[in-house]
């Protein structure tokens, strides 16, 4: 008799050998308060295993991939207390900052994965998420590093798998080469509809957008943020 491995295990093993998708994993030393949050609070908010089991009564569950300092994730969770939010971020300092925000705002509807988002994706069942946000991902601007960009054909297929039908995928970037790269690949997949009707659609921030420090830096340096919305067909 042949014993087949569990599908979640298969996906985890497949993603374990993936390319590295991020640069630094840690910046300046954490404060004592931040270190304490990472040691004591983070394990209680860990997204894995069973990323959906934390939100049994939630109206919806969303995933933010690479939440940075958590400005957008915290804003959503505060304004939508009946919804669940999963955040994945490999940069420890961003995780620590977000944990501090969770305690300050007394939020109980966020779960955090400190690490590679593909580990979360592998544990999610088909048609399980109501929204996915990919906001200002690392652009890896040098051509020799393009293989490290998050938006690749296999990853788009995973985004499609875990999103519910008619659910939105949000992608924002200020790097034109990455904008073109992502737009071409997401549309080529064939499973997503691009909702824009004119340039004003992708140059206008999302409704109830709180802005982020990455967006502010882009504008200071003269780069134009682009905001795309795709709907799973």
Q: Which residues are catalytic?
A: 138
Please provide the DSSP assignment of the chain as one string: -PPPPPHHHHHHHHHHTSPP--S-S--SPPPHHHHHIIIIIGGGGB--S-TTGGGTT-S-EEEEES-TTSHHHHHHHHH-TTSEEEEEE--HHHHHHHHHHHHHHT--SEEEEES-HHHHHHHSPTT-BSEEEEES-----SGGGGGG-S--HHHHHHHHHHBPTT-EEEEEES-HHHHHHHHHHHHHHSSEEE--SSHHHHHSPPTT----HHHHHHHHTTPPPEEEEEEE-
Pairing mode, if any, of strands 131-135 and 110-114? unpaired
Q: Is 49 in contact with 124 (CB distance < 8 Å)?
A: no
Residue 167 backbone dihedrals phi, psi, to 5 degrees = -85, 150
Half-sphere exposure of 187 (CA within 13 A, CB side): 11
């Amino acid at each position: 008799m042949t014993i087949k491995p569990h599908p979640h295990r298969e996906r985890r093993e497949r993603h374990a050998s993936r390319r590295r998708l991020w640069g630094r994993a840690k910046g300046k030393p954490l404060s004592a308060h931040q270190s304490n949050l990472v040691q004591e609070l983070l394990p209680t908010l860990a997204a894995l295993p069973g990323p959906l089991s934390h939100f049994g009564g939630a109206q919806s569950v969303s995933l933010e991939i690479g939440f940075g300092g958590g400005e957008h994730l915290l804003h959503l969770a505060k304004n939508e207390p009946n919804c669940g939010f999963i955040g994945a971020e490999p940069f420890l300092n961003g995780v620590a900052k977000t944990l501090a925000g969770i305690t300050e705002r007394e939020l109980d509807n966020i779960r955090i994965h400190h690490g590679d988002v593909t580990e979360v994706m592998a544990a999610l069942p088909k048609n399980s998420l109501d929204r996915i946000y990919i906001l200002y991902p690392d652009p890896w601007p040098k051509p020799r590093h393009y293989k490290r960009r998050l938006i690749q054909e296999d990853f788009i297929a995973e985004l499609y798998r875990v999103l519910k039908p008619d659910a939105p995928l949000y992608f924002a970037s200020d790097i034109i080469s990455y904008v073109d790269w992502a737009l071409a690949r997401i549309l080529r997949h064939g499973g997503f509809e691009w909702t824009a009707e004119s340039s004003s659609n992708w140059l206008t921030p999302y409704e109830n957008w709180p802005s982020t420090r990455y967006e502010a830096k882009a504008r200071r340096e003269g780069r134009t943020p682009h905001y795309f919305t795709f709907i799973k067909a």
